[in-house]
Chains A and B, each alone.
Chain A
């Protein structure tokens, strides 16, 4: 079943999952790179996010799959991933 998820929902999910203190959804650009960018997230955050997406939305991701990198690029690409597969 497709889920309706907004970029704001995904920002809140990321903030809560990774425990980002003092960060508001408005501080995150939905189209900007999540990793290696201004947020300073690293590979452990990426793994954490992958597991949380699986637990909460049932979305399977694989580090082996080159498409995963594109799915994890930004808030908007993650929203598209959950909407398609969640």
Chain B
């Protein structure tokens, strides 16, 4: 087992539908319509529901200037990808706007354009543990350069029906975690001996830990236990 201590400056979450049972407390929690005050109406034209949730979380945490970011999502913009694949199969010309927004780093890329943020950004996907490894990646990057904060943005949307028999579903939701010196210590016990099935709900367990003080979740590569000091 390996133990990490992450300094959490703030955390925000957005759910399309109230997931129930989450305590706000330290967490900035919102359900329903995302708040996009930061984005001019015209600039919202290419934002998917996933992008809107992620930008909501980023907006709630603030962070101006060249803020380093990690974006994590298991499936990203799957509905858009499927639309493009269907157009390809039908021999129809692809929508340039859909194509431009279908890459995994499209959402953080858009955010950097909106904010004039020129700092480095990583986009990753790690199966059922995409949230956990996204946060760990953000923590590692913060450790390498602890003088500046690091933002994790994570989001999922339900998969198109075609793929639902093959993968566990996630509700439409997004999470933002801002790490930085002076942050509230959050302990992660990462245990590769306590593996679980390929499931869903890892980010939900993390959010429970922020409210209740501690929570654990087991996935394909490890058991993840978070607790607030």
Contact = CB atoms under 8 A, between A and B. Distances in A.
Interface of A: 18-23, 39-40, 44-45, 47-48, 51, 54-55
Interface in B150-206: none
Given A44-B100, A45-B97, A48-B97, A55 B92 contact: yes
B93 A54 contact: yes
Contacts of B97: 18, 44-45, 48
Q: Which of A18, A40, A44, A54 has the most CB of B within 10 A?
A: A44
A19 B46 contact: yes
B41 interface: yes
B64 interface: no
A23 B96 contact: no
Interface residues of B, number: 13
Nearest to A19: B45
A51 B45 contact: no
B95 interface: yes
Nearest to B99: A44
Contacts of A18: 45, 97
For the complex of A and B, the 6 pairs showing the least CB-CB separation, nearest first, are A22-B41, A47-B96, A19-B45, A21-B41, A48-B97, A21-B44
15 contacts: A18-B45, A19-B44, A19-B46, A20-B42, A21-B41, A21-B45, A23-B42, A40-B42, A40-B43, A44-B100, A48-B96, A51-B93, A51-B94, A55-B92, A55-B93
A47 B97 CA distance: 8
B41 A23 contact: yes
A48 B42 contact: no
Contacts of B42: 20-21, 23, 39-40
Given A19-B46, A44-B100, A51 B95 contact: yes
B50 to A, nearest CB: 15
Contacts of A47: 96
A43 to B, nearest CB: 9
Interface string B32-45: 00000000011111
